[in-house]
Amino acid sequence: MLGTYNYGLVVISVLVAILASYTALDLASRITASRGKTARAWLVGGAFSMGSGIWSMHFLGMLAFSLPIPLGYDIPVTLFSMAIAVVVSGFALHIVSRDSLSLRKLTIGGVLMGLGISAMHYTGMAAMETHPHATYDPLLFAASVAIAIAAAIAALWIAFTLRGESPWMRYAKLGSAVIMGFAITGMHYTGMAAAHFSPDTICVSGPLVDNSWMAGTLTGTTLIILSVTLALSVIDARMISNTANMAASLQRANDELQRIALHDPLTKLPNRVLLEDRIEQAVAHAERSKAHCAVLFVDLDRFKMVNDSLGHFVGDELLRGVASRLHGLVRAEDTVSRMGGDEFVLLLREVDGVADAMDVASKALAALREPFRVHQQELYVTPSIGIAVYPDHGNTAQMLITRADAAMYNVKKGGRNDVRVFATEMSTFFPERLMLENDLRRALERREFELHYQPKVELENGAVVGMEALVRWRHPRKGLVAPDQFIPLAEESGLIIPIGRWVVEEACRQNKAWQDAGMPHLRVAVNISGLQFRQKDLLDTIAYALESSGLSPECLEIEITESVVMQNASDAIVTLEKLSTMGVHVSIDDFGTGYSSLSYLKRFPIDKLKIDRSFIRDVSSDMEDAAIVRATIGLAHNLKLRVVAEGVETAEQLQFLRALGCDEYQGYYKSRPVPPAEFELVLRGEIGLAPVTISPAVAA
Ligand code: C2E
Ligand code: MG
Ligand code: MG
**Cβ 455 under 6 angstroms from ligand 1:** no
Banded model confidence at residue 226, pLDDT cuts 50, 70, 90: confident
The better pLDDT of the pair 469, 78 is held by 469
Cα 664 off chain centre by: 58
User: Is ligand 1 within 6 A of the CB of residue 3?
Assistant: no
Best residue among 471, 527, 614 to mutate for probing ligand 1, ranked by most atoms within 8 Å of CB = 527
pLDDT for 330 beyond 60: yes
Helical residues (DSSP H) of 603-650, grouped into ranges: 613-617, 623-638
The answer to the question of residue 433 being in a domain is no
Both 328 and 461 in one domain: the answer is no
Q: Supply the residue whose CA is at minimum distance from atom 27 of ligand 1.
A: 483
Q: Which helix (H) or strand (E) holds 295?
A: strand 292-300
Q: Is the CB of 482 under 6 A from ligand 1?
A: yes
Q: What is the largest CA-CA distance in the chain?
A: 157
587 C-beta closer than 6 A to ligand 1: no
Q: Cβ of 589: how many Cβ atoms within 10 Å?
A: 25
The answer on pLDDT for 378 being more than 70 is yes
- Percent of the chain whose pLDDT exceeds 70: 94
Q: Would you say 301 and 381 are in contact if contact means Cβ atoms under 8 Å apart?
A: yes
| Residues 284 and 147 grouped into a single domain | no
- Range 235-263 average pLDDT: 77
Kind and range of the H or E element at 430?
Answer: helix 430-443
In this structure, which residue's CA is closest to atom 13 in ligand 1?
Answer: 647
569 vs 422: which has the higher pLDDT: 422
> Does residue 226 line the site of ligand 1, with CB under 6 A?
no
Does 524 have pLDDT greater than 80?
yes
Query: Within a domain: residue 97?
Result: yes
In a domain, 332, yes or no: yes
Name the β-bridge partners of 475. 479
Closest atom, ligand 1, to C-alpha of 561: 34
Which helix (H) or strand (E) segment is 501 a member of? helix 496-516
Q: What is the mean pLDDT of residues 102-119?
A: 85
Q: Give the residue, 400 or 156, on which the prediction is more confident.
A: 400
* Choice between 522 and 67, residue whose per-residue pLDDT is larger: 522
467 in the same domain as 388: no
Same domain, 165 and 307: no
The answer to whether residues 412 and 282 belong to one domain is yes
Q: How far is CA 408 from CA 346, 396, 405, 411, in A?
A: 13, 18, 5, 5
Which of 427, 458, 485 is a domain's end point? 427
* pLDDT, tens digit, 9 for 90 and up, residues 640-695: 999 999 999 999 999 999 999 999 999 999 999 999 999 999 888 877 765 444 44
Domain-terminating residue out of 369, 392, 427: 427
Show the domain range for 587: 446-606+670-699
Cβ proximity of 229 and 27 under 8 Å: yes
For residue 101, what pLDDT is reported?
Answer: 79
Give dist(CA 72, CA 453) in Å, integer.
122
Residue 330 lies in a domain: yes
Q: Looking at the structure, do residues 203 and 342 belong to the same domain, yes or no?
A: no
Q: What is the pLDDT of residue 695?
A: 44
Domain-embedded: residue 263: no
Q: Is the model's pLDDT at 544 over the cut of 90?
A: yes
Of 129-133, 267-271, 404-408, 512-516, the range with the lowest mean pLDDT is 129-133
Mean pLDDT confidence for 328-340: 92
Which residues fall within 8 angstroms of residue 140, CB to CB, at 6 or more apart? 190, 191, 193, 194
Say yes or no: CB of residue 613 within 6 Å of ligand 1.
yes
Residues around ligand 2, an ion, CB closer than 5 A? 527, 559, 589
388 and 452 share one domain: no
User: How confident is the model at residue 235, as a pLDDT?
Assistant: 80
User: Best mutation site among 558, 646, 678, 679 for ligand 1, i.e. most ligand atoms within 8 A of its Cβ?
Assistant: 646
Confidence grade of residue 431 (pLDDT, cut at 50, 70, 90) = low
Residue with the nearest Cα to atom 7 of ligand 1? 647
Task: Give pLDDT tens digits for 448-498.
Answer: 999 999 999 999 999 999 999 999 999 888 889 999 889 988 987 889 999
CATH assignment at residue 547: 3.20.20.450
Same domain, 383 and 510: no
Of residues 361 and 305, more confidence is placed in: 361
What pTM was estimated for this model as a whole? 0.48
Instruction: Specify if 628 maps to a domain.
Output: no
647 lines ligand 1 (CB under 6 A): yes
Atom of ligand 1 nearest to the CA of 490: 44
Which residue's alpha carbon is at the smallest distance from atom 12 of ligand 1? 647
**Are 203 and 296 in the same domain?**
no
Number of domains in the chain: 3
Does 529 contact ligand 1 (Cβ within 6 A)? yes
Tell me if 528 sits within 8 A of 560, measured CB to CB. Answer: yes
